[in-house]
């Protein structure tokens, strides 16, 4: 046997690394990023702030100031705290590690965010996927049956969901939270909350097993990799035991604190993207394309010849995401990030030209 066969787990050897395409020279509409930058005066002020950061020192391990700003600015209920991660991906991994008791399971609707299943696998947990309905709504009966059968330690409910972009029914989510009860935790993943304007954050006091997870990536700070999750202080104290020390670097901390002082700028950008989302969805529907309802900063569409349409757009220097192979329910589906009016016009013109070929 080779060294790799001897040392590396068989299930890891069978995986492919997460692929991120090179966007050079392309209109990049594949990763749900906020296309807007900070205004020039704020960029200059941020540069000065970062220039004063002590790069020779480790971060303050508790991140107390940043966590307090997040709680105050982003609506965390009184009496609850947050834990920070290097993006939501790290938080998902830490949750998996903390809950990886022998035989423990993770449950989530599918199709959904791929890191739920990957983090479970890496931590040695079994992942149970419960298919959504054909219209991408929750199959509540199937979810409740799976919870009763598997008694999962972790349940993920993305609100709104990726890659389908829709908000699950809030009453159905409450039934799921109550069904899980004291045997597990339910993560409401609100990565796209700035575009949904709906949240379970205010409902944290109602449910002892509820965790609300968010990121600043979609809000406009994807480059600094900062996620946070809110829950009871007792629950977060347990998760904090598996968090690496200094997991948030000083530049990320300083940038986040600065931007939170100017959160109205990002809120205005989110409002612009919500407006563009409606305009682009209407334009796509006008071309005869099936467009699914979206509460996120992206649109899911279905076209009979999606693979060919994806290739034609790429020839026209427009990069979107082909999700058709992710799950049977996503057959012939493409995911498109909503961008600036200028980039959205490039997209629509490229689509129109591609459809008439």
The verdict on 64 and 192 lying in the same domain is yes
6-10, 274-278, 297-301: least confident range:
6-10
The verdict on 27 and 91 lying in the same domain is no
* Mean pLDDT, range 279-284, rounded to an integer: 98
Strand 318-319 with 27-28, pairing: parallel
Confidence (pTM): 0.94
* Mean pLDDT, range 329-355, rounded to an integer: 97
The verdict on 86 and 145 lying in the same domain is yes
Does residue 291 lie in a domain region? yes
Does residue 48 lie in a domain region? no
pLDDT value for 44: 97
pLDDT digits (tens, 9 = 90+) for 60-97: 888 999 999 999 999 999 999 999 999 999 999 999 99
The verdict on 160 and 33 lying in the same domain is no
- Supply φ then ψ for residue 52, to 5 degrees: -95, 0
Burial 244-265 (b: 16+ CB within 10 A, else e): eeebbbbebbbbbbbbbeeeee
* 20 has a pLDDT exceeding 80: no
DSSP result, 51-107: HTS-TTSPPPTT-HHHHHHHHHHTTPPTT-EEEEESHHHHHHHHHHHHT--TT-EEE
Does residue 44 lie in a domain region? no
The verdict on 14 and 125 lying in the same domain is no
20-24, 185-189, 309-313: least confident range:
20-24
At 12, the pLDDT band (50, 70, 90 cuts) reads confident
Residues of the chain above pLDDT 70, percent: 99
Does residue 273 lie in a domain region? yes
Rounded-to-integer distance, Cα 267 and Cα 195, Å:
9
The verdict on 72 and 175 lying in the same domain is yes
pLDDT value for 14: 87
Rounded-to-integer distance, Cα 84 and Cα 213, Å:
10
- Cα 258–260–264 angle (5° rounding)? 120
The domain tally of the chain equals 2
Tell which of 261, 293, 321 closes a domain.
261
- DSSP H or E run through 93: helix 87-98
* Mean pLDDT, range 141-163, rounded to an integer: 98
Does residue 166 lie in a domain region? yes
Does residue 110 lie in a domain region? yes
Q: What's the Cα-to-Cα distance from 16 to each of 6, 127, 191, rounded to whole Å?
A: 19, 18, 25
The verdict on 153 and 250 lying in the same domain is yes
Rounded-to-integer distance, Cα 229 and Cα 162, Å:
18
Average pLDDT value over all residues in the chain: 95
Contact 151, 103 (CB under 8 A): no
Does residue 46 lie in a domain region? no
At 4, the pLDDT band (50, 70, 90 cuts) reads confident
* 40 has a pLDDT exceeding 90: yes
Contacting residues for 47 by C-beta, under 8 A, at least 6 apart: none
Tell which of 230, 261, 292 closes a domain.
261
* 15 has a pLDDT exceeding 90: no
CATH code of residue 179? 3.40.640.10
Query: Is pLDDT larger for residue 46 or for residue 14?
Result: 46
Residues of the chain above pLDDT 90, percent: 89
CATH code of residue 317? 3.90.1150.10
At 144, the pLDDT band (50, 70, 90 cuts) reads very high
* 309 has a pLDDT exceeding 80: yes
* Mean pLDDT, range 244-261, rounded to an integer: 95
* 27 has a pLDDT exceeding 90: yes
Does residue 280 lie in a domain region? yes
The verdict on 236 and 291 lying in the same domain is no
A 10 A CB-CB count for 65 gives 11
pLDDT value for 3: 87
The verdict on 183 and 70 lying in the same domain is yes
pLDDT value for 181: 96
pLDDT value for 357: 61
pLDDT digits (tens, 9 = 90+) for 207-216: 999 999 999 8
The verdict on 65 and 132 lying in the same domain is yes
Domain that holds residue 329: 3-39+264-355
pLDDT value for 1: 75
The verdict on 291 and 350 lying in the same domain is yes
Q: What's the Cα-to-Cα distance from 56 to each of 65, 246, 249, rounded to whole Å?
A: 20, 13, 11
Strand 333-337 with 321-322, pairing: antiparallel
Tell which of 227, 246, 261 closes a domain.
261
The verdict on 157 and 186 lying in the same domain is yes
Structure tokens at 69: 């700003």
* Mean pLDDT, range 24-30, rounded to an integer: 92
């Amino acid at each position: 046997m080779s060294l790799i066969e001897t040392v590396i787990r068989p299930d890891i050897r069978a995986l492919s690394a997460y692929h991120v395409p090179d966007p050079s020279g392309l209109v990049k509409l594949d990763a749900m990023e906020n296309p807007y930058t900070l205004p020039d005066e704020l960029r200059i002020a941020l540069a000065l702030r970062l220039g004063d950061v002590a790069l020779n020192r480790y971060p303050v391990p508790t991140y107390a100031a940043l966590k307090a700003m997040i709680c105050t600015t982003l609506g965390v209920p009184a009496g609850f705290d947050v834990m920070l991660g290097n993006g939501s991906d790290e938080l998902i991994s830490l949750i998996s590690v903390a809950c990886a008791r022998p035989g423990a399971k993770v449950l989530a609707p599918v199709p959904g965010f791929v890191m739920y299943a990957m983090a479970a696998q890496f931590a040695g947990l079994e992942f149970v996927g419960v298919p959504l309905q054909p219209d991408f709504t929750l199959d509540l009966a199937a979810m409740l049956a799976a919870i009763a059968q598997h008694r999962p330690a972790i349940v993920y409910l993305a609100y709104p969901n990726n890659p389908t972009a829709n908000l699950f029914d809030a009453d159905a989510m409450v039934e799921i939270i109550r069904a899980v009860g004291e045997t597990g935790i339910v993560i409401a993943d609100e990565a796209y909350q700035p575009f949904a304007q709906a949240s379970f954050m205010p409902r944290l006091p109602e449910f002892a097993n509820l965790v609300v997870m968010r990121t600043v990536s979609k809000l406009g700070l994807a480059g600094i990799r900062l996620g946070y999750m809110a829950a009871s202080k007792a629950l977060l104290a347990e998760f904090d035991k598996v968090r690496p020390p200094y997991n948030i670097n000083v530049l990320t901390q300083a940038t986040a604190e600065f931007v939170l002082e100017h959160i109205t700028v990002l809120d205005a950008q989110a409002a612009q993207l919500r407006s563009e989302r409606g305009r682009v969805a209407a334009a796509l529907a006008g071309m005869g394309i099936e467009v699914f309802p979206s509460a996120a900063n992206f649109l899911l569409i279905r076209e009979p010849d999606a693979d060919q349409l994806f290739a034609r757009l790429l020839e026209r220097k427009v990069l979107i995401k082909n999700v058709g192979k992710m799950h049977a329910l996503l057959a012939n589906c493409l995911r498109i990030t909503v961008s600036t009016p200028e980039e959205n016009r490039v997209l629509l013109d490229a689509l129109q030209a591609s459809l008439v070929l």
